[in-house]
Chains A and B, each alone.
Chain A
């Protein structure tokens, strides 16, 4: 089955620790995205990548870092510099070309709690 996997579903960390969230897709999509969602809020874009070895900051990139060494993988690191890291994190991918390429497919999300 093609899709996007995120692991783990729930993650707990102590303040001051970096943590890496996994996102893998087997849809052969070129573009991948990371979003953050806070309770009762909309989705906000953290980083996106349109091609391997390239990525751009989204609207709220401060305190986060990413890498895109492989087409199928786009891990997100939440660093200790992120002031309010507790949130729900969603990864998505899209084919990255016109037509249905606009359509994003979402992973199940990781709920991160930092205390």
Chain B
């Protein structure tokens, strides 16, 4: 079993829909990261969370440390949101700053 699990693996939505991507992890963490990878390959960091909730534009990320679970929500989805969304964690006490990555959620938003 992977230490970081994401669901769903693939998601197709109509423009305007509310989207939720889930991430569960099994290790103690210092922080959780949501990343976005566009078709060209570049990766952008969307959020870094250690507790609670963060919002940036139409994107909202939440984390429940006790349940070891995080969600990424996209409100009023748009075709330009089509990308791969990756959950990654910074494990606690590893002595390094390495990430453990989920396998990603491929999102396609149709016009």
Contact = CB atoms under 8 A, between A and B. Distances in A.
Interface in B77-111: 86, 90, 96-99, 101-104
Nearest to B95: A50
The A interface, classified by DSSP as helix, strand, loop or mixed, is: strand
Interface in B12-36: 30-31, 33, 35
Contacts of B76: none
Contacts, number: 56
A111 B41 contact: yes
What is the size category of the interface that chain A forms with chain B? 20 to 34
A48 B96 contact: yes
A19 to B, nearest CB: 18
B48 A103 contact: yes
Q: When A and B form their complex, which 3 residue pairs have the shortest distance between CB atoms, in order from nearest?
A: A106-B43, A102-B90, A42-B103
19 contacts: A33-B98, A42-B103, A43-B86, A45-B98, A50-B96, A90-B41, A90-B43, A98-B30, A102-B90, A102-B97, A103-B31, A103-B48, A104-B33, A104-B97, A105-B45, A106-B42, A106-B43, A106-B45, A108-B41
